[in-house]
Amino acid sequence: MLKIKVFLKKNKFFVFIAPWLLGFLAFTLIPMVSSLVISFTEWNILTPPNYVGFANYQSVFNDPLFYKSLRVTLVYTLVSVPIHVCLSILIALLLNSEIKCINLYRTIYYLPAVVSGVVVSLLWSWIFNSEFGLLNNLLLKFGIEGPRWLSDEKWIMPAMIVMSVWGIGGSIIMYLSGLQGIPKYLYESAKLDGASWWTRLIKITIPSMSPVILFTTLTGVIGGLQTFTQAYVMTNGGPNNESLFYAFYVYKHAFVWKQMGKACALAWVLFIVIFILTIIILKISKSKVYYESREGGDIL
């Protein structure tokens, strides 16, 4: 008994972090290793798996739909994330001005961000309805005949991106708090030196917010590449697979066609894509992100 007590006291650190350590082993490390193993087998969950070597990876790289879903997902992510970042900064700048009712405005812009993905998808499939939907009826008021957003393969991706813009409130709030953290004297001295609005934006605001930009870009890219709900609820991947988001394609392999082996192989390919993109973003940002030194601010 005493021995246990001494042991616990000596390893206090591990006792406290035990829950996370256990979860890390059970829900992250072991599943990751086993998914790597499963990706080399053919398995329908019900019968025991068969080792098939690289067959799943071969089948992935010979699958035209794999390339299509990867392209769809990358286009969606690489177009929507920069749009989100620019719009969020712009709106955050506007919402940072000292005008009446500003809190009300901030709340309004944030509201869509708390809405569940299923609701967003259902609501927008109704908004995008080509005859009775809100969007095309509004466009008609301006004399524009709107396209068939969800059934025209040329318009499905713009529709998805438009829809995603509705939910940028979360990053607006981050940029707002980033803006509020910029010391006022920087602007004042820049003004005294005769710096224009644009110069102040480029030389002070953007560099000061670069950590937030990095954070929202990274989480945006990682999240965007895993888009699922829109495809599942709204389009079922169509039309002509133009909204076949990668995560939805993996889901279909795993749970519709019961091909766990190929699903795991697909998941690992996505992991590598995400990993490479993350490294690229971090590399680019390394020279550009400015960290203000502040007390106790370091991670470690």
Partner 1 sequence: MMGMTMKRKCLQIFTYIIISIGAILMLLPFVWMISTSLKEPLTVYEIPIRWIPEVFKVENYKRLFTDYNFGLYIFNSIKICILNILGNVISCSLVAYGFSFCKHRYKNKIFVLLLATMMLPGVVTFFPQFILFNYMGWYGTTLPLWVPAFTGSAFYIFLLRQFFLTIPSELIDAAKMDGCSDIKILFNIVLPMSKPALMVIVIYNFMAVWNDFFGPLIYIIKEEQRTVAVALNYLKSTYEGTSSIPITMAASVLLIIPSLLIYFFGQSYVSRGIVFKGVEK
Show contacts with partner 1 in window 157-186 (CB under 8 A): 166, 169, 173-174, 177-178, 180-181
Spell out the SS3 assignment of 85-98: HHHHHHHHHHHCCC
Cα–Cα distance measured from residue 43 to residue 211, given in angstroms and rounded to the nearest whole number: 43
- Alpha carbon of 136 to those of 24, 132, 260: distances in Å? 48, 8, 41
Question: In whole angstroms, how close is the CB of 299 to partner 1 at the nearest point?
Answer: 5
Phi and psi at residue 289, in whole multiples of 5°?
Answer: -80, 130
287 binds partner 1 (CB under 8 A): no
Which of the 8 DSSP states describes residue 42? Answer: E
Residues in the chain: 300
Per-residue interface string for the shown chain with partner 1, residues 97-136, x marking contact by CB under 8 A: x-x-----xxxxxxxx-xxxxxx--xxx-xx---xx-x--
The site for partner 1, by CB under 8 A, has a size of 89
Q: Where are the beta strands (DSSP E) in 54-172?
A: none
Out of 55, 195, 218, 281, name the contact with partner 1 by CB under 8 A: 218
Stretch that binds partner 1, among 53-61, 64-72, 152-160, 258-266 (CB under 8 A): 258-266
Cα–Cα distance measured from residue 121 to residue 232, given in angstroms and rounded to the nearest whole number: 9
Dmax over CA atoms of the chain, in Å, equals 83
Cα–Cα distance measured from residue 214 to residue 217, given in angstroms and rounded to the nearest whole number: 5
Residues 10-29 binding partner 1 (CB under 8 A) are 12-20, 22-24, 26-28
Residues 54-83 binding partner 1 (CB under 8 A) are none
Out of 59, 151, 226, 285, name the contact with partner 1 by CB under 8 A: 226
Out of 206, 271, 281, 285, name the contact with partner 1 by CB under 8 A: 271
Question: In whole angstroms, how close is the CB of 45 to partner 1 at the nearest point?
Answer: 7
